[in-house]
Amino acid sequence: MSTALPSLGFAGIGLMGLPMCRRLLAAGYPLTVWNRSPDKCAALVAAGARLANSPAELCQDSDMVLLCLADTAVVREVVFGEQGIAQGGRSGQLLIDFSSLEPTATREMAAELAVLSGMAWLDAPVSGGTPGAEAGTLAIMVGGEVADLERARPVLQVLGQRVTHMGAVGAGQVTKACNQMIVACNALVIAEVVALAEQSGVDATLIAEALAGGFADSKPLQILAPQMAESRFEPIKWHVRTLLKDLDGAVKFSREQGSATPLSGLAAQLMRLHGSQGYLQKDPATLVELYRNKG
């Protein structure tokens, strides 16, 4: 059965990439992996994946090359740097980028890659965190050609419960920026709420339960409020630095479009303040520490 499936290359074996690759292997896809730190690929190689020595090598036997990387600069290096995907890619191959990047840069890189190698580009950022990656319940927002998405859809459906075509290349990244604006602002106000409840003598561990089903309810509330109230900051499921990077990207893009995003701009500054206090590599549940009375 696996011989009928397209072969996949995957670059970026991190918090999200590892569980995504495990799902692809379990579904029977032939998988080649690459990571800047090869040791992070060991568990996947043991499970049947092949290890590539460079991003260019990922392209040799892959019908589709998937990326899940930290930011725009890293994607640009992996695609266009020495022994990058642009050097190994060819017409007929498809690049699917799950990373959260700047929309303008995505459009520019997609056009450049098409000229250099003939590869098509889908930007397909995801939402749902590591639990969603493990369960295959991610929300995937896609920019690119309809025909390319339909070719990739079976692969995406292994990873996500919802795949939505948002428009041309870059539209997926615009949608992810909107997602991160909502998530980050929500996380910050939840942190304020938990700290206020604590300082008022209210049991903050009951906030999520008390508000469940009401107009203030949300997934972030149900996940973050208990973690914040209990100071349960590990295991780390995502990073403050990731939210800050995405907020900065959203504010930059809004400025390019002439659109006002004052709340997201303030959220970015608060996130930057929190990060500067040693929390960049920590879980966003630690945002409650911004507001707790330490005196």
**Closest CA relative to residue 16, chosen from 132, 140, 106:** 132
If phi > 0 it is left, if psi is from -120 to 50 it is alpha, else beta; for residue 242 that is alpha
pLDDT tens, residue by residue, 38-67: 999 999 999 999 999 999 999 999 999 999
Res. 294 pLDDT band, cuts 50 70 90: confident
- Whether residue 132 is predicted with pLDDT greater than 70 in this model: the reply is yes
pLDDT of residue 1: 38
Q: How many contiguous H segments (helices) and E segments (strands) does the chain have?
A: 13, 9
CA dist 280 and 91 (Å) reads: 40
Half-sphere exposure of 288 (CA within 13 A, CB side): 25
| 33 DSSP β-pair partners | 10, 51
pLDDT tens, residue by residue, 188-223: 999 999 999 999 999 999 999 999 999 999 999 999
User: What integer best gives the mean pLDDT of the chain?
Assistant: 96
CA dist 164 and 125 (Å) reads: 11
C-beta of residue 221 within 8 angstroms of C-beta of residue 208: yes
Phi, psi of 205 (to 5 degrees): -70, -15
Phi, psi of 52 (to 5 degrees): -95, 150
Share of the chain above pLDDT 90, in %: 97
Q: How far is CA 177 from CA 101, 156, 197, 248, in A?
A: 9, 20, 30, 10
The pTM of this model reads 0.94
H helices present in the chain, as ranges: 17-26, 42-46, 55-58, 72-80, 85-88, 103-117, 129-135, 146-159, 171-199, 207-211, 219-229, 240-257, 262-274
102: amino acid identity, one letter: E
Phi, psi of 170 (to 5 degrees): 100, -25
Q: Specify the 3-state DSSP secondary structure of 94.
A: strand
pLDDT tens, residue by residue, 61-88: 999 999 999 999 999 999 999 999 999 9
Q: List all residues 6 or more positions away from 21 whose beta carbon is below 8 Å from its beta carbon.
A: 10, 13, 31, 33, 44, 49
CA dist 255 and 276 (Å) reads: 24
- Indicate which residues carry an active-site annotation: 176
pLDDT tens, residue by residue, 216-259: 999 999 999 999 999 999 999 899 999 999 999 999 999 999 99
Q: List all residues 6 or more positions away from 247 whose beta carbon is below 8 Å from its beta carbon.
A: 180, 181, 184, 264, 267, 268, 271
Q: Specify the 3-state DSSP secondary structure of 126.
A: strand
CA dist 144 and 95 (Å) reads: 11
pLDDT tens, residue by residue, 165-191: 999 999 999 999 999 999 999 999 999
Stated as kind and residue range, the H or E segment containing 230 is none
C-beta of residue 182 within 8 angstroms of C-beta of residue 159: no
pLDDT of residue 295: 58
